[in-house]
Amino acid sequence: MKEKNPNEFTREHEEKELAKTIIKKAQDSTQELDQEVEEVIRDMDLEEREKEKVLRNEAKEKNKKRTEIKKKTFYWRALDMRLKKWYLQKKEEVMEEARN
């Protein structure tokens, strides 16, 4: 069996340590990148939620205004019908008086 030269042993050991260090740095940078990506995604989610909230509020306002307009329209239509009924009734009374 061939014995290893002490210099070769030291060099192999240094290379292994260097490889371990490089792998560790790569893993750390990957973790940091993952954390940054998570933060960006979280921020995007917050922005999306804010936009959605604004849109929902706008939709509620529009719906509220629409129902108010419908209520007013219905009110005026009902008032017109009452006035028309009253007018026809008065017209009948006048016609009845004219006949007598």
In whole angstroms, what is the distance from residue 95 CA to residue 87 CA? 12
3-state secondary structure of 41: helix
Q: What percent of the chain has pLDDT over 70?
A: 93
35-68: pLDDT as tens digits? 998 998 888 888 888 988 899 899 999 989 989 9
Task: Establish if 97 belongs to a structural domain.
Answer: no
| Domain region containing 58 | 1-73
The mean predicted confidence, pLDDT, of the chain is: 86
In whole angstroms, what is the distance from residue 16 CA to residue 39 CA? 34
Task: Establish if 20 belongs to a structural domain.
Answer: yes
Task: Establish if 54 belongs to a structural domain.
Answer: yes
pLDDT exceeds cutoff 60 at 2: no
Task: Establish if 83 belongs to a structural domain.
Answer: no
